[in-house]
Amino acid sequence: MSLSATWCVECGEQHMGVQSCCGHDTLPLSRLKHGPMVPLLTPAQSTDGTVRLTYKMVPRGVSLMSKLRAVMSGEALEAIEDGLYCVLDVDDNVMMSDTPMETVTNQVLVSLVRRFRNKHGRRPNVLLAGLGIGYTVEELLPTGARRMRLAESVTVVEKNASVLEIIAPQTERPFLNIVHQDVHEYQPTEQFDIVWFDIWPKIDVANIPEMETLHEKFDVPYRTSWLYEHLLTLDRGETHARNSRL
């Protein structure tokens, strides 16, 4: 991304060298509300064109409508603050972003890590299935000097080579090991304390059998899948697009 890029908070369009849009000044990244991964990741596209990491601006009008829908539906996480977010598209489907819905729901993993440390008095070794935009890696092995490392080590198993091509180089850090393999075929050579699965592009009850198969394969006390407990409360056949407002 060029340092001269600015965005319109009304329509969400990105501009280069344009100072105003929709009757308002356009704003640079430094003056925008943004997701936690925006300062850490650079937009990119995989060589085969199947995976794209982009910045997506949620304008004020879209944010307001999302908040109204959240009130009407009772689903608080439907609301998205206006601002700039990282979005990972795989085969033209949103695989992950750093919107509040994603960051809040992934705090389940952080809670598991803290619970383990409080009980056992040490940092856990964590296995993550699915790299995404590296948000959970950043939470457990933060790059900021003022943030404490939560995990002893993190191993990420990711089967999509194109995701690895554009995300892995941007998430390299000590105590992180990334494995290119399908988690269903992965045979660990070390003992993990916590296992977290996040490999699904949609919030769909049809994911539950696969989740439970993986839970059985990696049978450790601290393991679950992204939104697993939430899916158990949904009606059969109910499905939602991940980050459907982006």
The model's pLDDT over 193-239, given as tens digits with 9 standing for 90+, comes to 999 999 998 889 999 999 999 999 998 999 999 999 989 988 666 56
pLDDT at 6 over 90: no
Which tokens in the block code for residue 177? 């090991």
Tokens of 44: 């990119």
CA angle at 202 for the pair 230 and 106, rounded to the nearest 5° = 55
Closest by Cα among 231, 228, 195, 226 to 107: 226
How many Å apart are CA 147 and CA 137, to the nearest integer?
A: 13
Give percent of the chain with pLDDT exceeding 70: 87
Strand partners, 24: 21
Question: Alpha carbon of 239 to those of 70, 136, 231: distances in Å?
Answer: 17, 24, 9
The per-residue DSSP string of 134-145 comes to SHHHHHHS--ST
What residues are paired with 7 via a beta bridge? 14, 27
pLDDT in tens, 7-66: 676 666 677 767 778 777 776 667 678 899 999 999 999 999 999 999 998 888 888 888
Average pLDDT (4-8) is 70
Q: Which amino acid is at 26?
A: T
Determine the Cα–Cα distance for residues 139 and 141; give it in Å rounded to an integer: 6
- Mean pLDDT (whole number) for 174-180: 98
Nearest to 236 by CA among 209, 201, 216: 209
Give the pLDDT of residue 245: 46
Q: Kindly report, residue by residue over 63-121, the tens digit of the pLDDT.
A: 888 888 878 877 777 788 888 999 999 999 999 999 988 999 999 999 999 999 999 99
Q: How many CB atoms lie within 10 A of CB 155?
A: 21
pLDDT of residue 71: 86
Give yes or no for residue 176 having a pLDDT over 70: yes
Q: pLDDT value at position 10?
A: 66
pTM (two decimals): 0.86
Transcribe 100-160 into DSSP letters.
HHHHHHTHHHHHHHHHHHHHHSSPPEEEEE--TTSHHHHHHS--STTS----SEEEEEE--
pLDDT reported for residue 2: 47
